[in-house]
Every structure is written in C-alpha cells, then in structure tokens.
Amino acid sequence: MLKIGDTAPEFEGTDQDGHRVKLEELLGKSAVVLYFYPKDFTPVCTAQACLFRDSSAELTSLGVQVVGVSGDDQSSHSRFAETHRVPYPLLSDPDKAIQKAYEARQLLGFLSKRVTYVIGRDRKIRGAFHNELSAQKHVDAVKKVLASMKG
C-alpha cells in the first residue's frame, strides 16, 4: 500500500460510460478519493459503492471527487452503476495496471484489496486506508482526512 506523503501515480482508465478518466485531469478540478474494490455486485463492494454514493454530495462540498476501481469490465460497471445509481466513475482495470501502481492487489494478484486513498490536488497521498470487511470505515476515514485538510 502507498503511504501518506507518497506521490500518487498517474493513471488512466475507462469508466462505466466509456469515458477516459485520467488522474491529472481530475486533480485539475479537485482532490480525489480513489478506492479499490474486488468485484461488482458482491455484498461489501455494493455497500461500499452505495456508502460513497450516499456521501457524494457531502464529499463534493468538501472539494473531492470519488472514483472507484476494480478489475471488472465496462459492461459489468455499467450494470452495477445503473442498478445502484452510482454517480461517480467506476474504472475498469482488467490488466490490473492501476491496482499494481497503487499497491492494491491481493496475494497472488487475483482480486483488488479494499483500499482507499485520498489524493490532494498536489498529487500527494493524504490518506490511505485498508479494511476488507468494513466499507463504512473507509467512508468515515475519508471524511476525517478531508475535514483535516480543510481545517
């Protein structure tokens, strides 16, 4: 896992709507919450996506954009986003390049770890969280970091 103070690696991916998303472009507008999750439509992953969805207005008001990443393909992300009304980009990472760059791969590299990063507009990691079983802890930790960045 990357550490607080590390420089966030550049990434580029395709979201559920077929749009290309680049870290550099996101940071031109706001800080970024980048979260990695193992698989669409699984219980904890669905809870995590929905918790970020339900917090999206608050997170936007704190000056941040949320982006999710998993190895699922664009079609799966599209169904997942539509089913759960996910308002932010879900990037497909089939070759696991983003997961590798952010040290978010599980043992043997099969699935993504449940890792969340808060990336400041200066491209520095401001928060780094890993918890496989509690999606709520990720959202709570993000809010705490964002509050400290504002204050």
In a domain, 7, yes or no: no
Residue 37: what are its φ and ψ, rounded to 5°?
Answer: -140, 155
In a domain, 91, yes or no: yes
User: Please, what's the largest Cα pairwise distance for the chain?
Assistant: 40
Nearest to 130 by CA among 51, 37, 11, 54: 37
Residue range of the domain that includes 125:
12-150
In a domain, 2, yes or no: no
Tens digit of each residue's pLDDT (9 = 90 or more) over 91-133: 999 999 999 999 997 755 556 688 999 999 999 999 999 887 7
Tell me whether residue 45 is one of the annotated catalytic residues: yes
- In this prediction the pTM is 0.92
How many domains does the chain divide into? 1
Which residues, in sequence order, are CB contacts of 68 under 8 Å at separation 6+?
A: 35, 36, 37, 48, 49, 52, 86, 88, 89, 90, 91
In a domain, 4, yes or no: no
Catalytic residue among 32, 34, 45, 139: 45
Tens digit of each residue's pLDDT (9 = 90 or more) over 8-58: 999 999 999 999 999 999 999 999 999 999 999 999 999 999 999 999 999
In a domain, 110, yes or no: yes
Domain containing 35 — which CATH number? 3.40.30.10
In a domain, 119, yes or no: yes
